[in-house]
Amino acid sequence: MYSYFLFLLILIPFLALSAYASAKVNTTFANYDRVPNRSSMTGYDTAVRLMKSRGVHDISVGRVNGRLSDHYNPAKNLVNLSVSTYGSASVAAVAVAAHEVGHVMQNKRGYVPYKIRNVLVPIANIGSRLALPVILVGILIDLLWLTLDVPVGQYVMYVGIGLYSLSTIFMLVTLPVEFNASRRAKKMLLEDGILTEEELPGAKKVLNAAAMTYVASLLISLVYFLRMLLVVLSFSRNRR
């Protein structure tokens, strides 16, 4: 019971950080979405120009529903911009669009962390779904078959921990990918004259607020992973 309360005490600040980061990215985007950029370029215009000027002609730019649901889909050669970004000529919109083009350039230039993240996506999704069921199966085996010479249940639990760790590793690899895409975005916006030096700080605030959400997600995932690991280790020790 004590360990559970300790876990909550550690987790609550990170949940608060996650909520703050989510609110911060929404308010920062909203603030700078009211600031028109001097080039009058929309999010769509920005994505098209940045890719064209860098010799990328095989990626389409589409529009998806939602707010801040922007993403790059390399399998479909498609940059999807949300309604809040696609047609808006604000500082915030061009910053978000340029960030997605940053991912396009990572893919085109063979940025290693981006490649690693793409490999981890399906594996991490499977691992996060199977981790808890596998751990529970391991506990049941350990409880019901006490006469086994080999601690099969413990081994199964460790497999579950390993599966969950994949999602944490995925989030860890995501950090440099997102930060790098933002750096590329800021550089491209200046190089192509879409934003001026005076406008760039606003774009930086939007991108930095978005990056904070990834940091918070990683910390929460790490706390859950450590909690799960400690529970399994404690259970195994008590069964000896």
Is 100 an annotated catalytic residue? yes
Determine how many CB atoms are found less than 10 A away from the CB of residue 54: 16
Separation of alpha carbons 45 and 54, rounded Å: 14
Q: Which residue has the tokens 């390993």?
A: 162
The catalytically annotated residue of 100, 178, 197, 199 is 100
Q: Which residue has the tokens 């064209």?
A: 52
Hey, which residues are catalytic here? 100
